[in-house]
C-alpha cells in the first residue's frame, strides 16, 4: 500500500472546504467559484492562514451583525472621511486569557494558565490553544471526544493490550484526542500528522500532561506500520472517502475506528466508502452540521 504524500492530503482537504452563505455574505476559498446573485457580498478567504473562515459560530454571529448593519444602511452611510469601520479583532493575548475550561463528559480541557479542581474520574487534558487545531471548541473535536468518552465507558481504552500499537490518532493536530484517550485509561498510543508545526505542538502538549513516555508523535501519514485496535481520525469527509482503504487497513481485525470531521451532507457517502473498505458502522452522532462515526473492522 502506497504512502500518502502531504501534498495529497492538503489538496483533498482544500477541495472539501465549502462555499458558505450567511444571508447576503458569501464566503468562498480562492479555489472555488460562486455564481453571485444580485446583492451578494462575496468574500474570498484562504482558510489555512488565520482564524476566521465562517465555519466557527463566533465568526458567523459577527457576520450576522454585519448583515444587520448593512440592512439598516449603517455601512453604506459611513462618512467617506474619518475612520470608517474598524475591526479590532481579539488580539492573541486577550484570546488566550479568554480561553475557557471545557468539560465534555469525563474529559476536562484546560489551557496551561487556568486551574481546575478535578473531581473523581476526571480526565484532565492541558492544551495550549494557540498552537494547532484541536482545542475542544470546534464541534468536530467535541464529537471525537464524545466518542472517546463512550470508548472509556465501555472499557475499550483501559482494556487495550499493553503490547502492540495501542490507540492511534491520525491527523493528530494539537494531540488533544490522543492525550484525552491516555487520560481516560489507554495505556499507550501514537499520533501522526503531515504538519511539522502540529507534530511539535502535539509533543509539547503530551509533555505538559506528563504523557510523553506513553505516546509518540510522528511526522507522516497512512499507511500505518502496524494496524491498531483503536484508531481516531478527525479528518474532513473527502479524506475519509478517498483514503477509506488505508483507514480500514489501519484498524486491526476486531478493532474500531472513530471518524470525525464529516459534514452531515456527506455522512452517507463517507459511510458507504468506509463500508466498502471493510468496516461496519456501529453508531453515528452529530452536532449542528457535523457528524462523527464509530465503525468496527470485522
**Separation CA 113–CA 99 (nearest Å):** 10
Burial of 92 (0-12, 13-18, 19+ CB in 10 A): exposed
Predicted pLDDT of residue 130? 66
pLDDT tens per residue, range 141-160: 999 999 999 999 999 999 99
* 16-20, 58-62, 274-278, range with greatest mean pLDDT: 274-278
Residue 13 neighbours by CB under 8 Å, 6+ apart: 235, 236, 238, 239
Q: Where are the domains of the chain?
A: 6-89, 132-297
Nearest to 21 by CA among 58, 60, 50, 65: 60
Q: Name the band, by pLDDT with cuts 50, 70 and 90, for residue 22.
A: confident
**Separation CA 195–CA 6 (nearest Å):** 8
DSSP one-letter string for 94-154: HHHHHPPPEEETTEEEE-TT----PPTT-EEEE--TTSSS-SS-SHHHHHHHHHHHHHHHT
pTM of the shown model: 0.76
**Separation CA 296–CA 298 (nearest Å):** 6
pLDDT tens per residue, range 163-209: 999 999 999 999 999 999 999 999 999 999 998 888 999 999 999 99
**Separation CA 15–CA 9 (nearest Å):** 10
Q: Which class in CATH covers the domain with range 132-297?
A: alpha beta
| Residue range 115-134: mean pLDDT, rounded | 82
Higher pLDDT pick, 81 / 191 = 191
- The answer, yes or no, to whether residue 6 has pLDDT greater than 50, is yes
Contact 127, 205 (CB under 8 A): yes
**Separation CA 173–CA 77 (nearest Å):** 44
Predicted pLDDT of residue 131? 57
Amino acid at each position: 500500500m502506497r504512502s500518502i504524500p502531504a501534498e495529497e492530503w492538503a489538496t483533498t482537504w482544500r477541495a472539501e472546504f465549502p462555499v458558505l452563505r450567511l444571508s447576503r455574505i458569501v464566503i468562498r476559498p480562492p479555489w472555488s467559484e460562486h455564481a453571485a446573485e444580485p446583492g451578494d457580498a462575496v468574500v474570498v478567504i484562504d482558510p489555512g492562514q488565520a482564524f476566521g473562515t465562517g465555519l466557527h459560530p463566533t465568526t458567523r454571529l459577527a457576520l450576522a451583525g454585519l448583515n444587520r448593519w448593512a440592512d439598516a444602511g449603517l455601512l453604506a452611510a459611513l462618512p467617506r472621511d474619518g475612520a470608517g469601520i474598524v475591526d479590532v479583532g481579539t488580539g492573541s493575548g486577550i484570546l488566550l486569557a479568554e480561553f475557557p475550561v471545557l468539560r465534555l463528559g469525563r474529559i476536562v480541557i484546560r489551557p496551561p494558565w487556568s486551574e481546575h479542581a478535578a473531581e473523581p474520574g476526571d480526565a484532565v487534558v492541558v492544551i495550549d490553544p494557540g498552537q494547532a487545531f484541536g482545542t475542544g471548541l470546534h464541534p468536530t473535536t467535541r464529537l471525537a471526544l464524545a466518542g472517546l468518552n463512550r470508548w472509556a465507558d465501555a472499557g475499550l481504552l483501559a482494556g487495550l493490550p499493553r503490547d502492540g500499537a495501542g490507540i492511534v490518532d491520525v491527523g493528530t493536530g494539537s494531540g488533544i484526542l490522543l492525550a484525552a484517550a491516555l487520560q481516560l485509561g489507554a495505556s499507550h498510543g501514537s499520533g501522526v500528522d503531515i504538519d511539522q508545526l502540529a507534530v511539535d505542538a502535539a509533543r509539547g502538549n503530551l509533555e505538559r500532561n506528563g504523557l510523553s513516555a506513553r505516546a509518540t508523535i510522528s511526522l507522516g501519514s497512512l499507511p500505518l506500520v502496524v494496524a491498531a485496535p483503536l484508531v481516531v481520525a478527525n479528518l474532513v469527509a473527502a479524506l475519509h472517502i478517498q483514503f477509506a482503504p488505508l483507514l480500514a487497513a489501519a484498524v486491526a481485525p476486531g478493532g474500531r475506528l472513530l471518524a470525525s470531521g464529516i459534514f452531515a451532507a456527506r455522512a452517507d457517502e463517507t459511510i458507504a466508502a468506509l463500508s466498502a473498505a471493510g468496516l461496519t458502522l456501529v453508531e453515528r452522532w452529530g452536532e449542528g452540521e457535523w457528524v462523527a462515526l464509530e465503525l468496527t473492522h470485522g
